[in-house]
Amino acid sequence: MNKKIVIVGAGAAGIGMGVTLVELGIRDFLILEQKEIGHSFKNWPQETRFITPSFSSNGFGMPDLNAISVDTSPAYTLGKERLSGKDYAEYLELVAKEYHLPIFTNSSVNHVKKVKEQYILETDLGEIIADYLIFAVGEYSFPKHSFAGSEHALHYSEIDTWKQVTGNEQVVIGGNESGIDAALNLAKLGKKVSVYTNTTGLTAKEADPSIRLAPITRQRFMEFKETNQGEIKVYQKVCIANIQPNSEGYEIQTTDGRSIFSKNRPLLCTGFMNGAAILAPHLFDTTSGKFVLNAIDESTISNNAFLIGPSVRNQGVIFCYIYKFRQRFAIIAEAIAQRENVPINQTRLAYYKQQAFYLDDCANCTVDCQC
Ligand SMILES: Cc1cc2nc3c(=O)[nH]c(=O)nc-3n(C[C@H](O)[C@H](O)[C@H](O)COP(=O)(O)OP(=O)(O)OC[C@H]3O[C@@H](n4cnc5c(N)ncnc54)[C@H](O)[C@@H]3O)c2cc1C
């Protein structure tokens, strides 16, 4: 099968990109999803809620923060402000249906190679040849195991419900969004929680919520402290080097030679990797640990291969939230249309710009709040 454009992944980014292509008048594409639409969201712990609130502010130049298409709003569709993963997956399914997106589910892309100017994809559907490849494989399916023995810990992404974690005491490794969320959920169940972390967004001074802990997580933490009903201790500047199981439990070694004992299996909240670096490492320059992209989020070493979603970094801006990375879809669509010499719906493009769904100049994006 030959397709002009293939999007890999039907999560927030893949669906948002698909809607943008349709709305701007580009139809020769398909989306391949290894499982189901919104698979990552369906796998969140049951108790997890969005940290960015949803509100139907569309129409005032401020679309719902969690909308992945300009005229939709999960707040309106679901009547909720704080969405669960299952809620959001439902929203994505509805958007995909509304825009008749050409999606093949249960269709994993297993290998990608570039031959001349085309991409040959080995997929569960057979070989697919594409001129443009847009990676939207996300991070949640690719948990980060960054030190020796970390496989002995339970990763946040393996949690279905916090009720499945047994024992009265729990060690959490990592103290940012997922680590503090885990600690709060576990403490609420009556456990004594110790968080060991190199850095924590709890004390970060930066205003950008991509670095600082989100207001809702901070608020939950403060409210928990005020009620004094459980125990969360946060140990900062601790870097874990190794986890070794023994007959008593787990010995956790730090890089400065200390040893921490945990009777129960430690919980790993050290984040995720982007799957594009695993699926197609040869197509991107990631030697710095980040994807090197040009001004339109295209690989600097493979023409017509793009990255979308939370791992995009451009002009010093971290695009890790939906309200940030959705502003890059139209830029890619516009670039592809120009290369293919096909007309783009200019009225719609102007509307995207008006509704803050198009960000090409990040000069004013530094989140530097004075108060
Ligand atoms: C606990 C938690 C809370 C969060 N809260 C917020 C929040 O409040 N607000 C916010 O803006 N962001 C939040 N995020 C981040 C947000 O979830 C991600 O930014 C978003 O999911 C990224 O979208 P994506 O489409 O890039 O990735 P995903 O949603 O992960 O989608 C990627 C898709 O690609 C598929 N895939 C992977 N590999 C292949 C393959 N080889 N072939 C085919 N398909 C493949 C996967 O199955 C998946 O469906 C949160 C994340 C977590 C973990």
Q: What is the per-residue DSSP string for 185-220? A: HHHHTT-EEEEEEEEETTS---S-TTTSPPHHHHHH
**pLDDT > 70? residue 219:** yes
Query: Which residue's CA lies nearest to atom 3 of ligand 1?
Result: 50
Report the candidate in 314, 286, 313, 315 with the shortest Cα–Cα distance to residue 302: 286
pLDDT classification of 148: cutoffs 50, 70, 90: very high
- In the chain, ranges of CATH 3.50.50.60 domains: 2-141+272-354, 150-268
Tokens of 328: 């890059």
3-class SS at 95? helix
At residue 171, the 3 state secondary structure works out as: strand
Closest approach atom of ligand 1 to CA 309: 26
Q: Let me know: does 20 contact 333? Beta carbons within 8 Å.
A: yes
Task: Check whether 20 has a pLDDT greater than 80.
Answer: yes
- Condensed to tens digits (0 to 9), the pLDDT of residues 278-302 reads 999 999 999 999 999 999 999 999 9
Mean pLDDT (the chain) is: 95
| 304 Cβ inside 6 Å of ligand 1 | no
pLDDT digits (tens, 9 = 90+) for 240-279: 999 999 999 999 999 999 999 999 999 999 999 999 999 9
Q: How confident is the model at residue 367 (pLDDT cuts 50, 70, 90)?
A: low
For residue 229, pLDDT beyond 90: no
Alpha helices in 9-106 (DSSP H): 12-24, 39-42, 74-78, 85-98
H/E/C letters for each residue in 282-351? HHCCCCCCCCCECCCCEECCCCCEEECCCCCEECCEECCCHHHHHHHHHHHHHHHHHHHCCCCCHHHHHH
CA–centroid distance, residue 10 to ligand 1 (Å): 9
Q: Rounded distance, CA 78 to CA 38, Å?
A: 16
Confidence of residue 365 (pLDDT cuts 50, 70, 90): confident
Whether the CB of 322 sits within 6 Å of ligand 1? yes
The CATH number assigned to the domain with range 150-268 reads: 3.50.50.60
Other beta carbons within 10 angstroms of residue 289's beta carbon come to 6
Say whether pLDDT at 228 is over 80: no
- Among protein residues, the one with the nearest Cα to ligand 1's atom 37 is 137
Share of the chain above pLDDT 70, in %: 98
Distance CA 338, CA 36 (A): 32
Q: Does domain 2-141+272-354 have CATH number 3.50.50.60?
A: yes
The CA distance from 316 to 264, in Å, is 40
Query: With a 6 A CB cut-off, is 96 part of the ligand 1 pocket?
Result: no
Residue 310 predicted with pLDDT over 80: yes
Distance 305 CA to ligand 1 centre (A): 19
Dihedral of the CA atoms 76, 78, 80, 82 (nearest 10)? -110
